[in-house]
Structure 1
Amino acid sequence: MELWSVMFACLSVCLAAEAIITLPGNETIPALILFGDSIIDTGNNNHLLTALKCNFPPYGRDFQGGIPTGRFSNGKSVIPLSEQLEQFKEYIGKVKENFGEEKTNFILSKSLVLVVSSSNDIANTYFAFGVRKLQYDIPTYTDMLVQIASSFVKDLYGLGLRRIGVFGAPPLGCLPFIRTLFGGIERMCSEEINMASKTYNSKLSAQLHNLNQSLPQAKVVYIHVYDPLLDIVQNPTKYGFEVADRGCCGTGTIELAVLCNPLDLLLSCTDDSKYVFWDSYHPTQRTHQILVSETIKTYINYFA
């Protein structure tokens, strides 16, 4: 199935339900559109030509029927994943064909767009693989990432979208696989990588504030997830977790995607609700639920 048809089906459901989110003052949001990476991938990755897939056990074991759907988690992550910007433009054309230009423009202007990015760029491309380290230091690299994010927001605005939330980087230095690679024998959080996340977040927040001031009728919001997730990692029992330094799948220290597979079932935990992370990179469904609840409570008023 083409990705635009997956997205169109999602929007059709949203329209049938009239609204999926209600803002203060009883104002409604007709559609939720998400751009992001594997943190919130709900299965569209299955249709891409890539080796990084997770449509096999034990992924999805807590989802409906215990079927792996392509989510990089044990169950639900956050919300459906849309495609890259160019395919989104194609998707808009399909919506116009079915609902007309006036209705489509209304949907776009009132919809809520969430952008989740930067985690792979910092944790993998820069630190784990070291590709960008040969070209940039952290200040210049984070400048580049912020510029890319800023341009992306402007492109979304140019397409008629007005409510845009952009997530900052989480505490990447505390991801289980980062602890394994950079945390020494005790597998501590990497302060260097956490500092890179904070540097990026500081610059991103300032840039998004500027965009919010300069783009007419725009509601561009920086969404800070660094501290909420760090608090969960540092104080797991406060949230009902028992394990925060490794994932549930396999040993939980390095397994990800194809390394987290049916052969790991004997090593995997039996109760993932006690774990902050599902594999060595991605949070469990329960962690997602806590973060989403906190995010909605903190930021929903900014989009009213």
Structure 2
Amino acid sequence: MRNLLVPWLFLVQTLVVVAISGAKVPAVIVFGDSSLDSGNNNFIPTIARSNFAPYGKDFPGGQATGRFCNGRIPSDMISEALGLKPTVPAYLDPMYNISDFAVGVCFASAGTGYDNTTSDVVDVIPLWKEVEYYKEYQKKLKAYLGDRKAKKILNEALYLISIGTNDFLENYYTLPNRRSQFTVNQYQDFIIGLAEDFVKTIYALGARRMSLTGVPPMGCLPLERTTNIMEDHACMEEYNIVALEYNGKLKGLVAKLNRELPGLDVVFADAYHVLLRLIKKPSLYGFEESKTGCCGTGRFEMSFLCDPYSPFTCQDADKYVFWDAFHPSEKTNRMITDHLLKTSFAKFL
């Protein structure tokens, strides 16, 4: 049996190397929050989970994987567009191993932020721990493919980074500590500083191609509209203004990093405006509802509040811009991803 296993393992390894050498981008490596978490939170003690129905009802096989969506998320779609796998597996999922992770791996954790205190709110993986997992992954990849081939993958991979929304909505605007320390403009600058430190950290570890995603129109998320009673559940424009200001600073950071770090190619991924268009004029894009999500009443439900037995959960998530009160539906993810592939990511295709 052992004599048969050795050549089989060699064949699998060879196929991975061939696939990598034939692709412009050999792997997708993901850091971030629930916008890109493909299931890491399933394996830590937190309430920020989605590995149960009705999540995943439109995912292949109808499986709830831990993605905060009815189906696939942008990192999956970007991986597929790059000619890699149609899904990017979670690093902590024991169903996968280094042969799977060689072409795509996700370290993202729903509920986290650039600010370490954000991850403490619902006990999720802080960004520094995502980096530690990445270092561990590097060692496994080098043991699997050898130093030279592993280094090539790590240098030429596309690093998707989507994080920041929780720092504002879960932390700054919800808890008193950061508001007592910073004005909102100062907090934006604080987060930008942390983002810069993070990029420089993974750059020092070999990352060269990256995308930094800005925050969405935060005031138009169903959960925020629900609490905006005084304005009849309209978008909270204060939050949207903060999002635009922050995104402008993040875009400036991208330009600065490209100037300062030799060999770095980082792009700013702007999902704000395309999502706002879907929210403001849903019928133009084939949607029927953009104020509430598909799950439950759609006003406040996410994670465990998305009850599979709720009589209010919609049957067709494609009619909704949002899946739950915080996260886009798969159809929305597809539209945002298609936009980014034609703009920010075009150079990587």
User: So what's the TM-score if we normalise by structure 2?
Assistant: 0.78
Superposition deviation, residue 61 in structure 1: 1.0
The answer as to whether partners of 1:34 and 1:114 remain within 8 angstroms in 2 is: yes
User: So what's the TM-score if we normalise by structure 1?
Assistant: 0.89
Superposition deviation, residue 90 in structure 1: 0.6
The answer as to whether partners of 2:20 and 2:153 remain within 8 angstroms in 1 is: no
Match of 1:92 in 2: 138
What's the C-alpha RMSD, in Å, of the aligned pairs?
2.0
Equivalent position to 2:295, from 249, 263, 278? 249
Does the alignment pair 1:70 with 2:115? no
Match of 2:248 in 1: 202
* Paired residue total: 287
Superposition deviation, residue 44 in structure 1: 1.9
Does the alignment pair 1:279 with 2:275? no
The answer as to whether partners of 1:219 and 1:303 remain within 8 angstroms in 2 is: no
Superposition deviation, residue 135 in structure 1: 2.3
State the alpha-carbon separation in 2 of the partners of residues 280 and 14 from structure 1: 42
State the alpha-carbon separation in 2 of the partners of residues 184 and 20 from structure 1: 57
State the alpha-carbon separation in 1 of the partners of residues 226 and 251 from structure 2: 30
Q: Secondary structure at the match of 1:184?
A: helix
The answer as to whether partners of 1:58 and 1:68 remain within 8 angstroms in 2 is: yes
The answer as to whether partners of 2:294 and 2:313 remain within 8 angstroms in 1 is: yes
Change in Cα spacing, 1:235 to 1:91, as seen in structure 2 (3 Å) is same
State the alpha-carbon separation in 1 of the partners of residues 277 and 38 from structure 2: 26
The answer as to whether partners of 1:256 and 1:279 remain within 8 angstroms in 2 is: yes
Match of 2:315 in 1: 270
Q: Secondary structure at the match of 1:244?
A: strand
Does the alignment pair 1:299 with 2:344? yes
Change in Cα spacing, 1:270 to 1:126, as seen in structure 2 (3 Å) is same
Superposition deviation, residue 301 in structure 1: 3.6
State the alpha-carbon separation in 2 of the partners of residues 17 and 52 from structure 1: 38
State the alpha-carbon separation in 2 of the partners of residues 76 and 87 from structure 1: 23
Superposition deviation, residue 183 in structure 1: 5.0
The answer as to whether partners of 1:183 and 1:189 remain within 8 angstroms in 2 is: no
State the alpha-carbon separation in 2 of the partners of residues 301 and 162 from structure 1: 16
CA deviations on 1:91-130 (whole Å, 9 max, x unpaired) are: 1000011111111111111110010000111122122445
Equivalent position to 1:288, from 333, 339, 349? 333
Q: Percent identity between the aligned chains? A: 39
Letter in 2 for 1:178: E
Match of 2:125 in 1: none
State the alpha-carbon separation in 1 of the partners of residues 205 and 227 from structure 2: 41
Match of 1:6 in 2: none
Does the alignment pair 1:215 with 2:261? yes
The answer as to whether partners of 1:221 and 1:302 remain within 8 angstroms in 2 is: no
Superposition deviation, residue 300 in structure 1: 2.3
The answer as to whether partners of 1:14 and 1:30 remain within 8 angstroms in 2 is: no
Superposition deviation, residue 64 in structure 1: 2.0
The answer as to whether partners of 1:171 and 1:226 remain within 8 angstroms in 2 is: yes
The answer as to whether partners of 2:25 and 2:348 remain within 8 angstroms in 1 is: no
**Structure 1 ranges of 4+ moved more than 4 A:** 19-22
Does the alignment pair 1:56 with 2:101? no
State the alpha-carbon separation in 2 of the partners of residues 54 and 177 from structure 1: 17
Residue segments in structure 2 that go unaligned for 5+ positions in a row: 1-12, 76-87, 91-105, 108-129
Change in Cα spacing, 1:247 to 1:21, as seen in structure 2 (3 Å) is farther
Q: Secondary structure at the match of 1:18?
A: helix
State the alpha-carbon separation in 2 of the partners of residues 129 and 160 from structure 1: 36
State the alpha-carbon separation in 1 of the partners of residues 329 and 262 from structure 2: 38
Match of 1:35 in 2: 31
